[in-house]
A and B are shown apart, each in its own frame.
Chain A
Amino acid sequence: MDSILSNALMGLEVALMPTNLWFCFLGVFLGTILGVIPGIGVLVAISLLFPITFHIEPVAALVMLGGIYYGTTYGGSTSSILLNVPGTPSSAVACLDGYPMAQKGRAGTALFMTTVASFFGGTVGIIALMGFSPMIAASALKFGSAEYFGLMVLGLVAASTIASGSMFKGIAMVLIGILMGLVGSDVYTGTLRFTFGQMALFEGISIIALAMGIFGVSEVITSIRSVKRAGNADHDITFRAMLPTRAEMRASWMPMIRGSAIGSFFGALPGTGGLIASYMSYATEKRIGRAEEFGKGAIQGVTGPESANNAADQTAFIPTLTLGIPGSPTMAIILGVLIIHGIEPGPMVLVNQPDLFWGLVMSFWVGNLMLLVLNIPMVGLWVRLLKIPFHLMYPAILMFIVMGVLTTYNNVIQVWVLLLLGAFGYVLRYLGFQAAPLILGFVLGPMMEEHFRRTLMLSGGDFGAFFDSAISQVCLGSAVALVLYGLYVSFSGRARRGKAGEAVNEG
């Protein structure tokens, strides 16, 4: 305990150095601006900004990247709440209840509580990062292919059952996502699948093009069809309007605590992260609370996932820094920056460069504090940013999206892939399909296949290997339970929905 405290103090000293403080601020500020702009997510923000970090020293560079990272996540929630447009895939959950709150005139409260929940979740995540780093690093060894497979099945089942609307549509999207994820060369044999001889598809559909296309481009197309929505950002937000009522405060505590725990756990597991964590938290709150309130502006649906999201953003650094395994595409970029600066991530970082590790960890906390301080007076500014007429903003967004894809791949074909996926995303939206389960299926599908096949290779074809450990038993068992529960809800729900409809009519 003593060592953690002294390490934290040493880290704080590093984090509070004026240069690091400045780069932390710069990262948080730029990240929030980019995050607020619909369609610009963490990946685009980081890929646009990370070349800047080549010119500054490693600690400052990482501090700034960290700032961009959670600044963008936070900014993403802002546009989710005000416009129903997730700035980032992981803040898509904030749309579900944040936007209805805004429609009810509680936008200020939703934004404020988002900030508070983010800070809370971030703090819990950081404490977890400090305390559990060595422990979680050790338990990561317990996760083999069978365990990963079980966990991913659970994640996907959870994602499809919590998609608002039909569970079957959710499952359909997950499956389409998995199919899209299989494009490219097979890990085990190198055989090319579904590439139609196109070089651009050899490495698979790119996650950036997919996320930008389905969330960003399709958003721009939708906005052309519904220009009247521009008025929606017209919230007048004063500090008074931001304060939650006592009931809202009370309703938020437990979701925040649960969300932080869920987020800390999923963030630390490679391959999962903020997206899964926030969906898991949402699902948990929906199960615990009164399900019918969700999707109509329940504050628990905002604070729970938001703290989960931010806690996961912090703990995602655990596998990246301690084992050198990036848990997400974003972490992969951060890992790359580490290597550029001559740091080989792995167990040795903690031993050889404690100032880097602890400085970074404490700067996360300073950055989260900055977000809190920065955003309460600046919410008004973000709102004003969203008041820029859409006919000016959207062409600019489209430009940024294309630029993001171009700077990442240096390849014009990827721009066509992006536009094609944008059109596809619009069709999905038109038909009422949720895009988030698709993205999750896309990311997890290939990993699931990899782990599924590896489990069988290692066990010599024995399917029993999937149920060998307690971790996989719990995961697969929960997945089955979720499906059964989903089926139960969708069949018994049909009857109930009829009654609920009558009740609304009577009211």
Chain B
Amino acid sequence: MKAIFAALAACFVSSAALAEDFPSRQVTIVVPYSAGGVTDTYVRKLQPELQKRWGQTIIVENKPGSGSLLGAMDVASADPDGYTILVTAYGVISNEVLMPEAPFELSDLSPVYMLGRGSNMLIMRPDYPMDGIEEITAWAKEHPGELKLASSGVGASPHIAAELWASKVGVDYLHIPYQGSAPSRLDVMAGRVDGMMDGVSSVSYVRSGDIKAIAIAAEERHPSLPDVPTFREAGIDFVFGTIFGVYVAKDTPQAVQDEIYAAFDEAANVPEVHEMFVTQGLDATHRTQAEFKEIVAQELVQLEGLVEEGRLTPQ
């Protein structure tokens, strides 16, 4: 018993010292999605830059499962020393609201660095009779439950985006979930559903004319799609996109968190990496850790609002 106390005390004393020479050994970055996904691609781009700064081996561990819960749980329960880092997309936030029974709380993690925010855009089938967002909204209001919007899955960003839009403008639509964005986009192209709140990555299909882009849920128009208006331009205050962020276990010393923040900030701002984020449609504005925490908190409030309205059903 004494030994344990002694060890604990030693830990507290040495945590400050530890922070200074962090990292002194191999660092593991947990990606809660399979290799090859968007998040994984980003991490693998960042990995060499982080390795350069830290002079330590960085292992990227893919831990897919339960919509990012498995990987997140792993990091939350790891030693809070900064050697196990989580990089994840929106699932970690939406699961908190959608799966309250899961043995994991978002508060077990500390948000450190926000890589960026994507933006969803409303795409419609090529033969859809209307082109303007006002027109579509008006039609959807008159025909509740008739506008068919696809999504890449329950709780995924296209679903949340559609619910948010519907809640903002006060319409009811028919949600048709798919497994992944490729099959849902295909049914939009084939005209089986009316549209979808897709990510900006579908830009190549807009160019080829296979789908039409109606409006984008961003602050500003997207450089690759200068003709597509934002929802705000149409008077709908709707900005939404998935959030790519870096998290560690909540009790990690602040000094270590600061170093992780600085390292990711440096890596993400290497021109080549930054450019990739921008072309992928990511809003990679510089944000402090406090701002990131605030954004996560706001996101939770927004999701809980959808649950209260009965638009999302927690499991």
Asked if A390 is an interface residue, CB under 8 A from chain B, the answer is: no
Asked if A457 is an interface residue, CB under 8 A from chain B, the answer is: yes
**Given contact pairs A340-B44, A454-B176, A458-B148, A141 touches B154 in the complex (Cβ within 8 A):** no
**C-alpha gap A185/B69 in the complex (Å):** 13
Please indicate the chain B residues that have their CB under 8 angstroms from the CB of A145 in the complex: 187, 192
On whether the beta carbons of A411 and B70 are closer than 8 Å, the reply is yes
Please indicate the chain A residues that have their CB under 8 angstroms from the CB of B153 in the complex: 187
Asked if A190 is an interface residue, CB under 8 A from chain B, the answer is: yes
Segment touching B, from A73-81, A255-263, A343-351, A424-432: A343-351
**Given contact pairs A199-B69, A458-B176, A141 touches B190 in the complex (Cβ within 8 A):** yes
Please indicate the chain A residues that have their CB under 8 angstroms from the CB of B73 in the complex: 199
On whether the beta carbons of A339 and B182 are closer than 8 Å, the reply is no
Q: For the side of the interface on B, what is the size category?
A: 35 or more
Instruction: Give the distance to chain B from A1, nearest Cβ to Cβ, in Å.
Output: 24
Encode B144-188 as 1/0 by CB contact (under 8 A) with A. Answer: 000010000111000000000000000000101111001100110
Question: Which residues of A from 388 to 428 have beta carbons under 8 Å from B?
Answer: 409-411
Asked if B40 is an interface residue, CB under 8 A from chain A, the answer is: yes
Asked if B205 is an interface residue, CB under 8 A from chain A, the answer is: yes
**Given contact pairs A199-B70, A346-B204, A458 touches B193 in the complex (Cβ within 8 A):** yes
**C-alpha gap A332/B64 in the complex (Å):** 14
**C-alpha gap A200/B204 in the complex (Å):** 37
**C-alpha gap A336/B65 in the complex (Å):** 16
**Given contact pairs A141-B189, A203-B66, A344 touches B204 in the complex (Cβ within 8 A):** yes
Report which of B34, B63, B208 forms a contact with A336, defined as CB distance below 8 A. B34
On whether the beta carbons of B35 and A336 are closer than 8 Å, the reply is yes
Please indicate the chain A residues that have their CB under 8 angstroms from the CB of B183 in the complex: 270, 325
**Given contact pairs A141-B186, A202-B69, A323-B186, A190 touches B192 in the complex (Cβ within 8 A):** no
Instruction: Give the distance to chain A from B163, nearest Cβ to Cβ, in Å.
Output: 13
**Given contact pairs A189-B313, A340-B44, A458-B192, A323 touches B179 in the complex (Cβ within 8 A):** no
Please indicate the chain A residues that have their CB under 8 angstroms from the CB of B38 in the complex: 339
CB-based nearest A residue for B33: A336
**C-alpha gap A54/B47 in the complex (Å):** 13
On whether the beta carbons of B192 and A340 are closer than 8 Å, the reply is no
**C-alpha gap A36/B186 in the complex (Å):** 38
On whether the beta carbons of B37 and A339 are closer than 8 Å, the reply is yes
Asked if B201 is an interface residue, CB under 8 A from chain A, the answer is: yes
**Given contact pairs A344-B204, A454-B176, A189 touches B36 in the complex (Cβ within 8 A):** no
Please indicate the chain B residues that have their CB under 8 angstroms from the CB of A347 in the complex: 204-205, 208, 210
**C-alpha gap A238/B228 in the complex (Å):** 69
Asked if B51 is an interface residue, CB under 8 A from chain A, the answer is: no
On whether the beta carbons of A411 and B177 are closer than 8 Å, the reply is no
Asked if A188 is an interface residue, CB under 8 A from chain B, the answer is: yes
**Given contact pairs A141-B190, A199-B69, A323 touches B182 in the complex (Cβ within 8 A):** yes
Instruction: Give the distance to chain A from B34, nearest Cβ to Cβ, in Å.
Output: 6
Asked if B41 is an interface residue, CB under 8 A from chain A, the answer is: yes
CB-based nearest A residue for B201: A344
Question: Which residues of A from 122 to 153 have beta carbons under 8 Å from B?
Answer: 140-142, 144-145
Asked if B57 is an interface residue, CB under 8 A from chain A, the answer is: no
Instruction: Give the distance to chain A from B29, nearest Cβ to Cβ, in Å.
Output: 13
Report which of A187, A336, A410, A454 forms a contact with B36, defined as CB distance below 8 A. A336
Asked if B61 is an interface residue, CB under 8 A from chain A, the answer is: yes
Please indicate the chain A residues that have their CB under 8 angstroms from the CB of B62 in the complex: 410
CB-based nearest A residue for B159: A190
Please indicate the chain A residues that have their CB under 8 angstroms from the CB of B190 in the complex: 141-142, 144
**C-alpha gap A454/B148 in the complex (Å):** 11
CB-based nearest A residue for B192: A144
Interface centre among A140, A144, A335 (most CB of B within 10 A): A144
Asked if B129 is an interface residue, CB under 8 A from chain A, the answer is: no
Please indicate the chain A residues that have their CB under 8 angstroms from the CB of B179 in the complex: 187, 450
Report which of A144, A189, A409 forms a contact with B65, defined as CB distance below 8 A. A409
Asked if A192 is an interface residue, CB under 8 A from chain B, the answer is: yes
Asked if A338 is an interface residue, CB under 8 A from chain B, the answer is: yes
**Given contact pairs A188-B154, A323-B182, A457-B174, A340 touches B35 in the complex (Cβ within 8 A):** yes
Report which of A188, A202, A337, A409 forms a contact with B177, defined as CB distance below 8 A. A188
Instruction: Give the distance to chain B from A194, nearest Cβ to Cβ, in Å.
Output: 14
Asked if B98 is an interface residue, CB under 8 A from chain A, the answer is: yes
CB-based nearest B residue for A447: B179
**C-alpha gap A190/B160 in the complex (Å):** 14
Encode A14-42 as 1/0 by CB contact (under 8 A) with B. Answer: 00000000000000000000000000000
**C-alpha gap A187/B313 in the complex (Å):** 14
19 more contacts with CB within 8 A, not counting A190-B98, A203-B66, are A144-B187, A145-B192, A185-B315, A187-B179, A202-B65, A202-B66, A203-B65, A323-B186, A325-B183, A325-B186, A339-B37, A340-B44, A344-B204, A346-B204, A347-B208, A348-B208, A410-B63, A411-B63, A411-B70
9 pairs of A and B residues whose beta carbons are closest in the complex: A336-B36, A202-B66, A190-B154, A141-B190, A339-B36, A324-B182, A348-B204, A144-B192, A325-B182
| Interface positions of B (Cβ within 8 A of A) | 34-38, 40-41, 44, 61-67, 69-70, 73, 98-99, 102-103, 148, 153-155, 174, 176-179, 182-183, 186-187, 189-190, 192-193, 201, 204-205, 208, 210, 313, 315
12 chain-A/chain-B pairs, Cβ below 8 angstroms: A54-B44, A141-B189, A144-B187, A188-B154, A190-B154, A190-B315, A335-B36, A340-B36, A348-B208, A409-B65, A411-B63, A454-B176
